[in-house]
Structure 1
Amino acid sequence: VWRDILTRAEKGPVFLKDFPHYINHMWTADFLGHFTHAFLIRDPAKTISSLFNKWPEFDELEVGFPEQRALFDLLTALNGAPPPVIDSDDLLEDPTAMVAAFCQAVGIPFLPEAMTWEPGGDPSAHSWWDGGSFHANLAQSTGLTPQPRRYVEVKDSPERVRRVYRRMKPHYDHLYQHRIKPA
């Protein structure tokens, strides 16, 4: 699969999204050097509470914040500068400005028409778990539109969620300080 991606990348830009904790066995300077990297981060209060809601017995190793930070730090060291970071709340609050800033940061043109699309698609076709419930809203969406920030009170969560949150928050904060700031 990865050779196919590299072959396609020789012909032009290829976008792919993955979780760092699923590909950390591939983190060599040579392999990583083939890509323009960027990070999408989400407040761990939201990530962990959402994960707990769908999967109460989730394994803490599935959360991935330490590996995300490790990859970010590795790429920063290899490239001499941090890769672009987008915070999901900033993206949802001002999608057009944040996508334009992201495009500028990674050197691709901003296409306003890419901000909307026709609804549809089968979320189960792209789901790694439970037939697509994590992606059901996306299948019905028609584009990126501004949404107000939602806050999650971690103190109201079960102790296990609070414990995982306390361990993940420093990793999120580390990347958050490097985020592309909204205009």
Structure 2
Amino acid sequence: MTLKIAMWSGPRNISTAMMRSWENRNDTQVVDEPFYAYYLAQTKADHPMAKDVLASQSSSWQEVSEQLSQEQYQGKIFYQKHMTHHMLDDIDLTWTKKLRHCFLIRDPLFVINSYVKKMPTVSTEDIGIKRQLELYQQITDITGQDIPIIDSKDVLINPRGILSKLCESLAIEFDEDMLSWPKGKRNSDGVWAKHWYENVEASNSFAPYQEPLIKLTTQQKQLAQENDNYYQQLYKKRIIVTGEKIKLDR
């Protein structure tokens, strides 16, 4: 039986590098943002390559969720990279009961600082951190799982430590192949890769952590502050490495 793992992230995180990490395991198949077309069809959001995205995927959340939760996939693990802001309120989340879940979080100040380099405007809905907290609470209630949370800064500082603890919390063996991967494009990447994935295509591992240089307007900084409470509620539950045991800071 295939273990289906859903990783829930907001945009401008290390979510694509994390997908590379999992895909480099020889027992894992990945899927890239399967609800993106649904999100665009519903919101009419002005995103780069929107027409290409809509043509590449089903825009029916019912069809997508059925595929993600029911079909059999190659490999022991089916890793799903999800964007929290793609999950609009009209989606029935009961399909998530058939998956194992984990959450990838990042400081909203850093998210917004990166987001505005690619997009002209930004809102709470765009960065998905409030929605991430809502999904964490809703999926926890639906599944009854003790869902692990990892912070991108922790991953970059100690990728082996955090990923090994994440794997342990998901009851699978850590694989050293998760720490590096070949440079280049992947057939599994969404069609939007040419706009968003330049940096990860040039990478072969998680980049060493560097504190970002923040260049934001007063309004953008205020938006980060407004979202910080949602982030902190998740941050305090994150996996931290303490010796040889998993510690969830709760």
TM-score, structure 2 normalization: 0.63
The answer to whether the Cα contact below 8 Å between 1:93 and 1:148 also exists between their aligned partners in 2 is yes
Deviation at 1:90, TM superposition (A): 0.1
Task: Give the direction of change, closer, same or farther, for the CA distance of 1:13–1:65 in structure 2 (3 Å limit).
Answer: same
Match of 1:150 in 2: 211
Q: Secondary structure at the match of 1:181?
A: strand
Match of 1:161 in 2: 220
Deviation at 1:58, TM superposition (A): 2.8
Deviation at 1:157, TM superposition (A): 2.3
Q: Secondary structure at the match of 1:54?
A: coil
Q: CA RMSD in A?
A: 2.4
Task: Give the direction of change, closer, same or farther, for the CA distance of 1:152–1:75 in structure 2 (3 Å limit).
Answer: farther
Q: Secondary structure at the match of 1:61?
A: helix
1:6 is the counterpart of 2:48: no
1:135 is the counterpart of 2:197: yes
Q: Deviations over 1:102-121 (max 9, x none)?
A: 10111221111232211111
Deviation at 1:56, TM superposition (A): 2.9
1:174 is the counterpart of 2:233: yes
- Greater share of helix residues, 1 or 2? 1
Deviation at 1:149, TM superposition (A): 4.1
Match of 1:119 in 2: 183
Q: How does 1:66-81 map to 2 (within 5 A)?
A: 66-80=130-144
Q: 1:26 is matched with which residue: 87, 91, 95?
A: 91
Task: Give the direction of change, closer, same or farther, for the CA distance of 1:72–1:139 in structure 2 (3 Å limit).
Answer: same
Amino acid across the alignment from 1:56? P
TM-score, structure 1 normalization: 0.84
Q: Deviations over 1:10-65 (max 9, x none)?
A: 8753110111221243243x312011110000111100111112213234421111
Deviation at 1:179, TM superposition (A): 0.1
Aligned residue-pair number: 176
The answer to whether the Cα contact below 8 Å between 2:140 and 2:147 also exists between their aligned partners in 1 is yes
C-alpha distance in structure 2 between counterparts of 1:102 and 1:27, whole Å: 27
Q: Secondary structure at the match of 2:104?
A: strand
Task: Give the direction of change, closer, same or farther, for the CA distance of 1:36–1:9 in structure 2 (3 Å limit).
Answer: farther
Match of 2:119 in 1: 55
Amino acid across the alignment from 2:238? R
Deviation at 1:81, TM superposition (A): 5.3
Amino acid across the alignment from 2:139? L
C-alpha distance in structure 2 between counterparts of 1:148 and 1:139, whole Å: 18
Which structure 2 segments of 5+ residues have no match? Answer: 1-63, 243-250
Deviation at 1:127, TM superposition (A): 5.3
C-alpha distance in structure 2 between counterparts of 1:7 and 1:60, whole Å: 32
Task: Give the direction of change, closer, same or farther, for the CA distance of 1:6–1:78 in structure 2 (3 Å limit).
Answer: closer
Task: Give the direction of change, closer, same or farther, for the CA distance of 1:21–1:148 in structure 2 (3 Å limit).
Answer: closer
Q: Deviations over 1:141-164 (max 9, x none)?
A: 11235x1341555xx620221121
Amino acid across the alignment from 2:91? M
Task: Give the direction of change, closer, same or farther, for the CA distance of 1:157–1:42 in structure 2 (3 Å limit).
Answer: same
C-alpha distance in structure 1 between counterparts of 2:97 and 2:223, whole Å: 32
C-alpha distance in structure 2 between counterparts of 1:63 and 1:23, whole Å: 12
